[in-house]
Chains A and B, each alone.
Chain A
Amino acid sequence: MITIENLTKYYGKNRAVNNISFTINDNEILGFLGPNGAGKSTTMNMIAGYLPMTSGKVTIFGHDISREPVKAKLDMGYLPEIPPVYPDMKVTEYLSFCAGIKRIPLGKRKEEINRVMELLKITDVKGKLIRNLSKGYRQRVGFAQALLGDPKFIILDEPTVGLDPNQVVEVRKLIKSLKKDHTVIFSSHILSEVSEVCDRVVIINKGDIRAIDTIENLESKFSTSLALHIKVKGSKSKAASIIETADGVKEILSIDEEGNDIYSFVVQLDGDAEEIQDKLMSDLLGNQIRIVEIFTEKPNLENVFIELINRPVRKDSLEDLLDEIVPESDSSEDEDGEDEEKEEI
């Protein structure tokens, strides 16, 4: 098991990673998801023992990376964001050098190099200088290096970047196959990739963990509740109170003014969408509120991801939401200065 406890990294005064903790279980593929600049590579570099942490602890199979770096690194393979290859070396020379620094016994080196070259399908370029290889091949040579010596723990920092779609599929397949007897942490900013390959995900943004859960849980947590989009023309507050009190409405997520007395509501539903929608429509029409547009949407994982990253603080009450669109509203009621990004109307 790999444990990461209270990991923090400052670059000068800038905080790149803020007190993050999680564990990676044996034989698990953990996805490390976040937008560019979220602190993914910094975290990976700290786990791999390349960058020292400002504070916190990384334990790899019981060995603290700061206190017992050699023992911790012996069972680890790391593919950094930029494949660490020497352009002046041939593929086999490079892999043999890597086998040397990873302390693979001389007698086993050749066999081991052949094995990883087969796995990554780079045998056909083994005699070529790395400088003459395409980006995809270089990436695979870097990947092969990480698998040398069959380490139990593998760190992959965006392993599919720069590969063509065919290679991406192959590499994903390979990562999945590693699960059998390896522990893998795998970073990406591509959600579909993570959901396809990983058992659990850690979502990180601006150095903070936003969520740690299985893909299924994340999906179900957000998809059980459908989002209903209604655009109405008429009294805003009347419409809001009707919507809020209607059966099956969990909460109003947002209200936007579109001009000409038209307001669009996003409502989270709880129950049979069609029934609620019909009921809501007749209620609204009965109160002289015209419905301009109405549709339901099932949030997909992409939306979950965007929401987790961009919406750290939820509005609590209907009043807060209504206040947001009132021009003279006092922003002091809002939390965390969230409203700064909202446009005043």
Chain B
Amino acid sequence: MFSVYKKELQSFFYTPFAYALTALFMLLFSYIFANNIAKLESSNKLMFSFTEIFYSIIIFFIFLIPIITMRTFADERKLGTEVLLMSSPLNVAKIVLGKFFANATVFLFMIAGSTLFPIVTEKNGEVVKSQLICAYIGFFSWGLMFIALGMLISSFTESSITAAIIGEIVMFADLFLDDFSRTAFISQYPKIQSVLLAFAAQPRFAYFSQGFIRLSDLVFFATAIIVLLSWTYISIERRRWNRG
């Protein structure tokens, strides 16, 4: 598993890929950060919320995560290297986990870059650290779930671009699942609404961003990750059986 992890990391970090992606993320973050500070001057409050920045950034973020995950399995298939992995003594579960951890590492690298902003703020003012840490945990959990989702989508196709686009659509849909389920139309059917809400990740992130770490939310994200990764495993195995 470690070999796969290392190889994946090499493909991210020995190329400009991870750096370009992180730079883009930092750019977006700094843009929203600067915007928030600019707003301070026009208001009386001398405070702003990092968690709000996270909220604003998430809409961009769902476009970045599929870019991390799009190549995961689609590229292996396209290059014919899937044969190498499958005919090696590795089992599919280890391949999936190795790749998941590598993607998670890139994601961690990206959000680690964003800690620069609270650090700078801390030098010139005060940061509510506990809330910020909670927001980071929530953001990270949500990101991991989306990574697992992106990997699943990548396992369906041979084209990484298709994987990225489908990933973006699905993640976008998940982001607005919460709003959608609260519309008047869906509210007519409380059962459907409750099912939709159960799958919505955003309200759970809201708790984290307010400084709450609830076990149920952690369990939600962990379960979602396990289910999605298992599904990825099944999808790869099933494709081997049905190939042709």
Residues of A at under 8 Å CB distance from B?
11-12, 14, 16, 45, 48-52, 69-70, 73-74, 76, 78, 80, 82-89, 93, 97-98, 100-103, 145
Q: How far is the CA of A83 from the CA of B79 in the complex (A)?
A: 9
| Residue numbers in A under 8 Å from B6 (CB-CB) | 97, 100
Number of interface residues of B (CB under 8 A): 26
15 further A-B pairs in the complex, CB-CB below 8 A; given A86-B11, A98-B88, A145-B84? A16-B244, A49-B87, A70-B91, A73-B89, A74-B89, A80-B80, A80-B87, A84-B79, A84-B82, A85-B81, A86-B81, A89-B11, A100-B7, A101-B84, A103-B89
Per-residue CB contact flags for chain B residues 222-244 toward chain A (1 = under 8 Å, else 0) read 00000000000000000011011
| Residue numbers in B under 8 Å from A103 (CB-CB) | 89
| Residue numbers in B under 8 Å from A76 (CB-CB) | 87
Contact check, A86 vs B79: say whether CB atoms are below 8 A apart: yes
Output the nearest chain B residue to A86 by Cβ-Cβ distance. B81
B188 shortest CB reach to chain A, Å:
44
Nearest 8 CB-CB pairings of A with B: A11-B244, A100-B3, A84-B84, A82-B80, A48-B87, A101-B88, A84-B81, A50-B86
Q: How far is the CA of A103 from the CA of B91 in the complex (A)?
A: 12
| Residue numbers in B under 8 Å from A88 (CB-CB) | 11, 14-15
Within 8 A of A (CB), among B16-60: none
Output the nearest chain B residue to A75 by Cβ-Cβ distance. B89
Contact check, B90 vs A12: say whether CB atoms are below 8 A apart: no
Cβ-based interface call for B2 (8 A): yes
Per-residue CB contact flags for chain B residues 4-16 toward chain A (1 = under 8 Å, else 0) read 1011001100110
| Residue numbers in B under 8 Å from A98 (CB-CB) | 84, 88
| Residue numbers in B under 8 Å from A93 (CB-CB) | 10, 14
Contact check, B81 vs A69: say whether CB atoms are below 8 A apart: no
Within 8 A of A (CB), among B62-104: 79-91
| Residue numbers in A under 8 Å from B79 (CB-CB) | 84-87
Q: How far is the CA of A106 from the CA of B230 in the complex (A)?
A: 30
Contact check, B85 vs A101: say whether CB atoms are below 8 A apart: yes
Q: How far is the CA of A86 from the CA of B86 in the complex (A)?
A: 15
Contact check, A101 vs B4: say whether CB atoms are below 8 A apart: yes
Q: How far is the CA of A80 from the CA of B87 in the complex (A)?
A: 10
Q: How far is the CA of A73 from the CA of B91 in the complex (A)?
A: 11
Contact A51/B243 with A82-B80, A84-B81 known, Cβ cut-off 8 Å: yes
Contact check, B89 vs A102: say whether CB atoms are below 8 A apart: yes
| Residue numbers in A under 8 Å from B241 (CB-CB) | 52
Contact check, A12 vs B244: say whether CB atoms are below 8 A apart: yes
Within 8 A of A (CB), among B195-244: 240-241, 243-244
Contact check, A69 vs B3: say whether CB atoms are below 8 A apart: no
Q: How far is the CA of A52 from the CA of B236 in the complex (A)?
A: 12
12 pairs from A and B in contact (CB 8 Å cutoff): A11-B243, A50-B240, A70-B91, A73-B89, A80-B80, A84-B80, A86-B11, A89-B7, A97-B6, A98-B84, A100-B2, A103-B89
Output the nearest chain B residue to A70 by Cβ-Cβ distance. B89
A40 shortest CB reach to chain B, Å:
14
